Amino acid sequence: MSGHPSTYEPKYAATKWMDQRLPIIRMGADFMTYPSPRNLNYWYTFGAILALCLVVQIISGIILAMHYVPSIDGAFASVQRIRRDVPFGWLLQPMHAVGASMFFLAVYMHMFRGLYYGSYKAPREVLWIVGCLIYLVMMATAFLGYTLPWGQMSFWGATVITGFFGAVPIVGESLQQWLLGGYAVDNATLNRFFALHYLLPFIIAGLVGLHVWALHHVGQNNPIGVTEKTKSDTLSFHPYYTVKDAFAVAVFLLIFAFFLFYQPDALGHADNYIEADPMKTPAHIVPEWYFLPFYAILRAVPDKLAGILLMGGAIVVLFVLPWLDTSKVKSLRFRPVARGFFLIFIVMCFVLGWCGAGTPDDVALPFGSKMVDGVSVDSGLTFYRLSQIATIYYFAYFLIILPVLGLVEKPIKRPDSITQSVLGDKKHEKTA
């Protein structure tokens, strides 16, 4: 679908004048008439939802920055002041914090959609890799931002995460202190985290530009993974998908509003209402929910460096996925065996999240009980063992299952065209 010919005709003198100098109106008009596959379902609306999330985060973030004090003496109090005294601060601060959760919710949907319909396969590898980069920068941004309120979880989260760099052989300690700007997480760290947290969203916006450019260059994938062949396979982006996206955005905003107005703290951790104290660690350190699966992978091995490498590998593997999945068929709709493994993969991601939230030595799945010091306690699978099982599956899915299945699985027959899959054979014969 590359080189979609422009149909824009400037009507007025002013638009003609502009079109000759900077054809930005033409660009917008072409965007609106972009031919999109006619069978895109609601899983494809998360792109628009994500664009909205980014805008919400940037606007609410700029406003919060106007009231926030990036110093270890003022940070905690300034955030509390925003929530209590600044006009509409009660709305804007949770909008930013809940918004981060909503952003990750949407990006996970978008990614699972891509995995299911094979959106990473040729010719969309670069599109996929840019997407992975966006996700990586989002993670960095979220981590830096979570540090800013300077609560107990902020402080200790930052200590633990920057501690990863200390595990690097030989240069670890110097590297960590260079990143922190001191011996420990302190004022210098807070200042630079604030500066970077303000910068990275604009990098994300730039990457999103590249992501959409690549998307429009190669054309959108679709639920059957069959390329558009005729004009009847496509629909103009506006009004067909603008309406569909707008409806999905409205539903998404209802969920957002529910959390924002009724449960603004449900997705955070209560310990972040205690000001950071470098002398006292909270009993149980956990990251935000959207990092829990990676946290579980980190803790699944008893070795510091190996844990970090494994956790990093869980993300690196996404970047090389286009070359790991050997199947020619894009959509899992036509790969029943792969679909089964994919469903288990999703379950395992949730299991990892559950393990990340739990205490490693606690029993996750009790299989009876045993006697310890005369009292009977549950015995069974601990979170530690469970996270090992799920971690193995996570990597096996990418490194073994997808490469092997692509070679041995026999996919079921795909429709010849998008029009045929939408209208069925009979209708297709009539129109043909």
Partner 1 sequence: MSDTLDTNEHIDEEKRDFIFIATGAVAAAGAASVAWPLVAQMGKAADTLAAGSIEIDLTKIAEGQQLKTLWRGKPVFVRHRTAKEIAEAEAVPLSDLKDPATDDSRLVANPEGKVDPKYLVMVGVCTHFGCVPVGEAGDFDGWYCPCHGSHYDTSGRIRKGPAPTNMAIPPYAFISDTVIKVG
211 is in an annotated binding site: yes
The answer to whether the bond into 123 is cis (omega within 30° of 0) is yes
115 vs 63: CA distance, rounded Å: 36
Return the amino acid letter for 408.
V
Residues that bind partner 1 (CB under 8 A): 156, 159-160, 162-164, 166, 177-179, 181-186, 188, 192, 278-285, 299, 302-304, 307, 360-361
43 vs 245: CA distance, rounded Å: 10
Minimal distance in Å, beta carbon 73 to partner 1?
Answer: 14
Nearer to partner 1, 178 or 323 (CB): 178
Nearer to partner 1, 120 or 156 (CB): 156
Nearer to partner 1, 38 or 299 (CB): 299
284 is in an annotated binding site: no
Minimal distance in Å, beta carbon 306 to partner 1?
Answer: 10
269 is in an annotated binding site: no
Minimal distance in Å, beta carbon 140 to partner 1?
Answer: 16
110 is in an annotated binding site: yes
173 vs 185: CA distance, rounded Å: 13
Minimal distance in Å, beta carbon 191 to partner 1?
Answer: 11
350 vs 367: CA distance, rounded Å: 21
Nearer to partner 1, 216 or 299 (CB): 299
Question: In Å, how far are 147, 180, 330, 372 from 159, measured between CA atoms?
Answer: 10, 9, 42, 35
CA angle 143, 190, 152 (to 5 degrees): 65
238 is in an annotated binding site: no
- Alpha helices (runs of H) in 86-241, residue ranges in sequence order: 89-116, 125-147, 152-163, 172-180, 187-218
Give the DSSP H/E element, type plus range, for residue 365. Answer: strand 363-372
Minimal distance in Å, beta carbon 157 to partner 1?
Answer: 10
Binding-site entries for heme b? 96, 110, 197, 211
Binding-site entries for a ubiquinone? 216
